[in-house]
Amino acid sequence: MTTHDEEFLRRAAEAKGRIVQLAPAEARQRIEAGSLLLDVRSGEEYAEGHIEGAHHLPGEELARRFAELQPDRQAPILCYCRGGNRGALAADELQRLGYSNVASIEGGLSAFLAERD
């Protein structure tokens, strides 16, 4: 399990104030409606399990490679990680890069899996 230092948690909290966070039920609706689903966890974490249909792009590669995955800056995008912090930072970074329809799953994959239909 990844533990985050205080600086990381501070940056994640600030990012959460600038982005849209969706509860898992609303995230499921967005996924069904065709949002691009982006898993920003490590390769090892992704291999352990992920949401079906998710694209994998670790957070550290986001700025450099995301335009290859989604060149349309108005397309709906939904980011997630394990607990919500890295997903929030990724959504914030995508907004900074000019993507206008970005959200993250509140509570990340853990919350998403815990709140099954």
Give the pLDDT confidence score for residue 61 in this predicted structure.
93
Give the pLDDT confidence score for residue 1 in this predicted structure.
53
Q: Is residue 81 among the annotated active site residues? A: yes
Give the pLDDT confidence score for residue 3 in this predicted structure.
74
Q: Which domains does the chain have, with CATH numbers?
A: 21-114 (3.40.250.10)
**Choosing from 81, 89, 90, 91, which is the catalytic residue?**
81
73/23 Cα distance (integer angstroms):
23
Residuewise pLDDT in 10s, the chain (117 residues)? 567 789 999 999 999 999 999 999 999 999 999 999 999 999 999 999 999 999 999 988 999 999 999 999 999 999 999 999 999 999 999 999 999 999 999 999 999 999 875
11/50 Cα distance (integer angstroms):
25
Give the pLDDT confidence score for residue 116 in this predicted structure.
76
Burial profile 96-108: b = 16 or more Cβ within 10 angstroms, e = fewer: eeebebbbbbbbb
Give the pLDDT confidence score for residue 48 in this predicted structure.
95
